Amino acid sequence: MKRRDFMKKGSAVVATSVVGSTLVASCGGGDTTAPDTTTGGTGAGTGANPAPTTPDPVATPAPVPDAPATTPAALVEQTFYITEGEHEMMDATGVGTIVPFRSFNVADVPDTINVPGKAIIVNQGDTVEITVVNRLQSVHNFTISRLVNDKNVVIADTGVIPAGETRLVSFTANVPGTYRYEDATIVNNMKINSMVGMHGGFAVMPLDANSGNPLNDQLTVGSRKFVQQLFWVFNDVDPNFNNAIINGTASSAFTPQYFTMNGLSGRPPAPLNGSPASSPGYADPTLDSMHDPRSMLVGALGDRALVRCINFGMAKHSMHIHANHFEWLTTDGDMVDGMMDADPVQTTKDVIPLNGKGGICDVIYPFDAPPDAWPIFNEATVQLAKDEGRKIAYPMHFHDEMTQSAKGGSYLFGLMTDVFYEPKPKA
């Protein structure tokens, strides 16, 4: 599909969720447009059934993070195994490209990968012990860091981990916030192993200053509250670069062909350029970023979700949300002016910049009724959709065009996910 056609048909795009049909409002006519009311669930009114999903034999999504302890000063232990494996990246031809990756794997299983690695959430004051086992024949390391006042602050570092050896790093999580972990080896001014998959998210939850108990609903003490949190870990993928690095050939050439969110890209439901009725892997939560539970935002009216965004790719991006605007809290460790205000108006944005090379930002998505939506959007609207077997959803995608495609032209195979509205739980 050409970009011009993609943009013209954007408002008609419909995706199917794991449990039913989805209503999607998409870019082009305004962010508060009511969801598309088509119910076929297979895209642009085609009525075709999704093709069987294609299993991926080696790449497995990282597990969701464990909930932090409810008491302070706990001991948190995690073991990672440095592994190599492959993942099939898809485009509009319907023929995937097998791409090699390296990862911090949670299972000691050869030829398997978790890209990104498992996210870790701890409480301020916890003792964290991370064991890293290098199952490869190459030298690696493991670091946890973030930017503070434009300087990289490292809070954990194993040092060099020779081939076949193990290292343990132990530290106290003192400062709340969002961090990245990665193999920080730099060659040709690039973190080559981080770029080929050795990365993940780490977070420290704050303690209440009076009681000393963990606060599970704030990014930092006094900031606006949320009821759920998740990580969006982004990356740019060049198969040729990955092959060169993993084969031991230093490379400075990097031309990304795929853009991922928590290791996955979109798999569209509609026929594109002669591809099958739906792309292989469509609606498979282990292959399709629009159906990946680690990436989708799912909530009821009144809910609020904290999203910890980390960009391990080389390029700076512009993150765009539909239905409601993000409440922008931090960028690279710096608080956004107004983030502590009770009224989020000063920090409310529909497009958030996200720096490359490990850039971090924290945002809250409010599950409010989209303003100016028609038909009127309320609890009855959401309940009616559920009763009729439909899902109300709005997209999240990036506004820099290259990220919305694969191989420079396969639109809808890029970096995107959905925001789903569910009815409030019945009392």
Claim to verify: residue 360 and residue 320 sit in the same structural domain: yes
Q: Which domain holds residue 184?
A: 75-211
Claim to verify: residue 389 and residue 269 sit in the same structural domain: yes
Has residue 427 been placed in a domain? no
| Residues in Cβ contact with 318 at an 8 Å cutoff, skipping those fewer than 6 apart | 351, 352, 353, 354, 398, 399, 400
pLDDT reading at 20 higher than 50? no
Claim to verify: residue 47 and residue 79 sit in the same structural domain: no
Q: For position 61, what pLDDT does the model report?
A: 59
Helix (H, G, I), strand (E, B) or coil at 284: coil
Selected residue with higher pLDDT from 345 and 181: 181
Q: Quick one: which of 345, 343, 393, 404 has its CA closest to 367? A: 393
Q: In what order do the strands lie in the sheet with 151-157?
A: 120-123, 199-205, 177-182, 143-148, 151-157
Q: What percent of the chain stands above pLDDT 90?
A: 61
pLDDT reading at 395 higher than 90? yes
Q: Give the tokens for residue 102.
A: 């390296």
Q: How confident is the model at residue 197 (pLDDT cuts 50, 70, 90)?
A: very high
Strand partners, 365: 305
Distance CA 412, CA 229 (A): 26
Claim to verify: residue 259 and residue 361 sit in the same structural domain: yes
Which CA distances in Å does 391 have to 22, 24, 36, 152, 384?
Answer: 4, 9, 11, 42, 10
Whole-number average pLDDT of the chain: 83
Claim to verify: residue 241 and residue 364 sit in the same structural domain: yes
Distance CA 297, CA 293 (A): 8
Claim to verify: residue 127 and residue 265 sit in the same structural domain: no
Claim to verify: residue 357 and residue 274 sit in the same structural domain: yes
Selected residue with higher pLDDT from 141 and 373: 141
Has residue 228 been placed in a domain? no
Q: For position 274, what pLDDT does the model report?
A: 56
Q: What percent of the chain stands above pLDDT 70?
A: 82
Has residue 60 been placed in a domain? no
Residue ending a domain, among 211, 226, 258, is 211
Q: Quick one: which of 24, 75, 102, 19 has its CA closest to 268? A: 24
Q: Please tell me the total count of domains within the chain.
A: 2
| Residues in Cβ contact with 145 at an 8 Å cutoff, skipping those fewer than 6 apart | 152, 153, 154, 155, 179, 180, 181, 184, 358
Has residue 272 been placed in a domain? yes
Helix (H, G, I), strand (E, B) or coil at 406: strand
pLDDT reading at 28 higher than 50? no
Claim to verify: residue 389 and residue 271 sit in the same structural domain: yes
Q: Are 92 and 5 in contact (CB under 8 A)?
A: no
Q: For position 374, what pLDDT does the model report?
A: 79
CATH of the domain at 316: 2.60.40.420
Give me the residue label for tokens 């569209």.
Answer: 268
Selected residue with higher pLDDT from 151 and 22: 151
Claim to verify: residue 414 and residue 287 sit in the same structural domain: yes
Selected residue with higher pLDDT from 51 and 242: 242
